[in-house]
Structure 1
């Protein structure tokens, strides 16, 4: 398994994490509360953690292609739900 970590600086981390999870749960298995989440994509899983000023992502997949797919989904969806802030995930 390979990993990818990302962060987003925002005072609304819990709000955006919850919006992502509510959207994703229409198609995949998602467990979440106001502080943490787990989204199980067909090609890997992503753990999210909402901190006071930061939203953290920890993604894991079997191969680079699967990890890239998950990153693309997150990179596409977060800006949609954060139009006012224009958030972009900083991948490490």
Structure 2
């Protein structure tokens, strides 16, 4: 299955991880704590890990043609939650 990785430099990595997981928990299977989260979205799976200054994201699409859309969905949500800062 096609997979993509991204690292988002932010002091709020744990906060954004938890916000993403809580946001999608009403619609998709989600498991998370303050430093690790797994979200089983309709297009594939997102695995999130946070450390002191980085949110690590891995997305795995169910189908090759879905990877770009899955990346966009996750990135758009992170950008919305982090509207107060410029993400790297």
Q: Is TM (by shorter chain) over 0.5? A: yes
Aligned residues: 88
Gaps of 5+ in 1: none
3-state SS of paired residue (1:59): strand
Aligned to 2:64: 64
- The two structures have a TM-score, normalised by structure 2, of 0.91
**Going by fraction, where is strand more abundant, 1 or 2?**
1
**Over residues 16-48 of structure 1, what are the superposed CA-to-partner deviations in whole Å (9 max), with x where a residue is unaligned?**
111111111121111100010000011210110
CA RMSD, Structure 1 to Structure 2 (Å): 1.2
Structure 2: distance between partners of 1:87 and 1:24: 21
Gaps of 5+ in 2: none
1:33 aligns with 2:36: no
Structure 2: distance between partners of 1:43 and 1:80: 20
